[in-house]
Amino acid sequence: MASLLFVSLLLSFVTLTSSLPSIGVTYSSPSTTTAASSTPPPPPPPPDKISTAISALKIHAVRLPDADPSLIKAFAFTNTSLFLSIPNPLLPAIAANRSLALAWLYKHVLPFYPRSKIALVSVGNAVLDSVADEDFTPYLLPAIRNLHLALHELGIKKIPVSTTFSFFSTITTAFPPSSAEFQQPAGDLIVKPLLQFLEDTNSSFLINLYPYNLYRLNSEIPVGFALFQDYPFNFRDDLVTGVRYFNLFDMMADSVLTSMAVMGYESIPVIVAETGWPSGGGEAGEVEANEAYAEMYLKGLVRHLKSGVGTPLKKDGVAEVYVYELMDHENGGSDRQRGRKWGILSENMTRKYNVDMSDGAKNSGFMAIFLAFIFVFGN
């Protein structure tokens, strides 16, 4: 009887650990992240070197905003899942003509799948941010549907399609999370029909979520609250729900979950497509962009995700989290990131932080089964 009880406890542990969110990393090549400069960007590292570096870090999920075919190929026959993105300027053409969606798939997916584990495609990134330069929002939903249909035409039904939003252009507020909603009119015109599509196709809602940016916008937020630090009185209460928050990441994540629930789509998985803390660069006065704080954030984030506690409003929390990004680039980051250095590796690809981002906790479930058999049959 005791043996059966022990086995049941171990199997319950398997269930617990298997629900932990996966932790991945974004890799953007220097040619697409270098800020405007008279100095030409240095050549990117060879794709095989990038693949080897990520494998050495024991990271099994990679987001590729560039979706370079040579890089996709470099991950063939590895245990690394790939999250690809289609650049915003391609949306009008893909929305207008499904054959162009097929053409993109013939170049970026069909030659490599399933040898390369392509797990997700984001049609566009932060499209709601683009209206100041060029408004891609009218093309977003038609492009998503065309890519989804094109995948099915090719007989590929296991790669979900979605798009990636920015927290600041999509959610009305981060505090209290109970008051959060999708910003209008995009909420009703774009997000709601997208949520229905995601539910119908078993896809996920993708969001870029940066506590660093929210902390800089609000001087009342303690830096320790943004960095997952365990200080006395380092919490905020949502007086409407009575929920207590101990870090800014959970608060922002629950604002997203609340906004989805308001529209009736609380069961759709949420993937954090970008998050991180810069170790340098940026504008004058960004003293919080330093390596010490960046390491605190990364360690705190990984520790929190591996704890399996989820967020206060959702036991399972977010499904996946991608750290922005793999490595620094010599001329800084994109205009969107204002030259900040976000890499977990330096420009020469040496490690900056001692942080274990592997998903070893998930595999401990298999170890639990192994131990259970030894315990039962060894007695």
Could you report the per-residue pLDDT of 207-222, keeping only the tens digit for each? 999 999 999 998 889 9
Selection from 183, 161, 185 nearest residue 172 by Cα: 183
Tell me the CB-side half-sphere exposure of residue 13, using CA atoms within 13 A: 17
Residue 152 has pLDDT above 50, yes or no: yes
- CA 194 to each of CA 54, 75, 197, 200, 336: distance values in angstroms, whole numbers, following the listed order: 32, 30, 5, 10, 25
| pLDDT tens sequence across 77-119 | 998 999 999 999 999 999 999 999 999 999 999 999 999 999 9
Written as one letter, the residue type at 237 is D
Q: Give the pLDDT band of residue 234 (cuts 50, 70, 90).
A: confident
Q: Which helix (H) or strand (E) holds 283?
A: none
Specify burial of residue 55 (Cβ count, 10 A radius: 0-12, 13-18, 19+).
Answer: middle
pLDDT of residue 364: 41
Of residues 169 and 131, more confidently modeled: 169
Give the integer Cα–Cα distance in Å for 225 and 234. 6
pLDDT of residue 39: 59
Q: Give the pLDDT band of residue 330 (cuts 50, 70, 90).
A: low
Give the range among 126-135, 168-177, 211-220, 254-263 with minimum mean pLDDT.
126-135
